[in-house]
Structure formats: C-alpha cells, structure tokens
Amino acid sequence: MTEEFRLPGWESKRQMVDGPADRVVRFEKASRAIAEALIRNREVDLGGSGIPVVVEGNRDERTLRELGFTGPIEKINRGWDRPRMVAYLHSQYCIGKTSDGSPPVILLMDWDRTGGRIQASLRDRLMAMDSPVDESLRNTLLKTMKPEGRTVESLLAHVPSLRPLVQRLVSDLE
C-alpha cells in the first residue's frame, strides 16, 4: 500500500467545530456578526431597533462600547438573582414587538463553561415566557474567536483589528 491513509473529511469536520483556521477569514466573519448586532442595538432614532445586548459584567460592556455599541447593554452581574433578572428583561424589552421583527434580546455570555450555563439558563427562562432570544452573535464569536480567547472581554485586545472591519461593514449594511 503506497497510498497514504487519511480520515475522510476530517478537515471539514474540524472547521465546523473550531471555525475557519485563517485568521483574516475568522475576523471578517466575527466583524460581520458584530456589525449586524451593532445596528440592531442602536436606538430607533439612529436607524436601529434598540435591542439590548445582555452581557455578564462591566468589562464586557466596556469591550462592546469600544467596538462601537451605543444602545442598551444590560449586565447580569448586578446583584440580582436569575428570576429577577429574567423578569426585568421580559418586562423592559419583551412585551412589545421590535421594529425589525427580530428577537427582542441579544444574549452574549462568554463562550466558556460558566458562560454556556448562564446562556442556557437565561435562554430557557425567557423562551418559557414566549420571548425569543438572539444567540447568533455569541454562536459566531464562539466559532471564530475561540483561539483568541473564551470571553467577551478578551475581544478588547483585538478592537484595533476588529473596529475598522466593523465600521466598514456597518456602512455597507446601512
């Protein structure tokens, strides 16, 4: 047997789990997801939908502000228990329809084990109250930015690289 043995489709399965290997491609995909969420997060007066981004803490909020988010950002680490936080999010954002018809809340917890548990808990509780949530930003960042870190605040180091791409995509999407 002179032929080399290879597992069929191994590279594509790895890319499905880990995301694209090329850093430029990964940053472009992450920037597109950030730009779409940024537009939805803007206040209605500025052409957005006023959709809040729910993050874990102050450093996560700072990172999003550095990336260009100007709309509401809600932090879950404010001393409230989970049921109170879910009730607050539901009463503040989930009662009426959004202007773009999309889910009324963007959940963006860290993509580590604790963040996954918090994400699942908030998602399940909000969906039990018939309030859909948008998890596309977290899912994209989980796949594309995993090598750079497992937290939202780890994106802060990459803001100089991401911000120009995000700004260009925002102007293209508008």
Could you read off the pLDDT of 49-84 as tens digits, one per residue? 889 999 999 999 999 999 999 999 999 998 899 999
Residue 9 lies in a domain: no
Position 154 scores a pLDDT of 93
Distances (CA, A) of 162 to 25, 98, 106, 108, 168: 12, 28, 20, 17, 10
Q: What is the pLDDT of residue 98?
A: 79
pLDDT, tens digit, 9 for 90 and up, residues 113-125: 999 999 999 999 9
pLDDT band of residue 1 (cuts 50, 70, 90) is very low
The token duo for 153 is: 């605040």
Which is nearest to 142 in space by CA: 108, 170, 103, 171? 108
Instruction: With cut-offs at 50, 70 and 90, classify the pLDDT of residue 48.
Output: confident
Range of the domain at 90: 41-173
The H-or-E segment that residue 55 falls in is strand 53-55
19 domain residue, yes or no: no
pTM of this prediction? 0.83
- What is the helix, strand, coil percentage profile of the chain, to 5? 60, 5, 35
Is 86 inside a domain boundary?
Answer: yes
Q: Is 70 among the domain residues?
A: yes
- CA gap 53, 75 in Å, rounded: 9
- The residues facing 106 across adjacent strands are 53, 134
CATH number for position 63: 3.40.1360.10
Dump pLDDT digits (tens) for 91-116. 999 888 877 788 999 999 999 999 99
Residue 60 within any structural domain of the chain = yes
Overall average pLDDT of the 115-140 stretch: 94
- Is 104 part of any domain? yes
The answer to whether residue 161 is domain-embedded is: yes
Give percent above pLDDT 70 in the chain. 88
Q: Domain count of the chain? A: 1
Asked if residue 17 belongs to a domain, the reply is no
Question: What is the reported pLDDT for 108?
Answer: 95
For residue 6, pLDDT over 50 is answered with no
In the chain, the percentage of residues whose pLDDT exceeds 90 is: 68
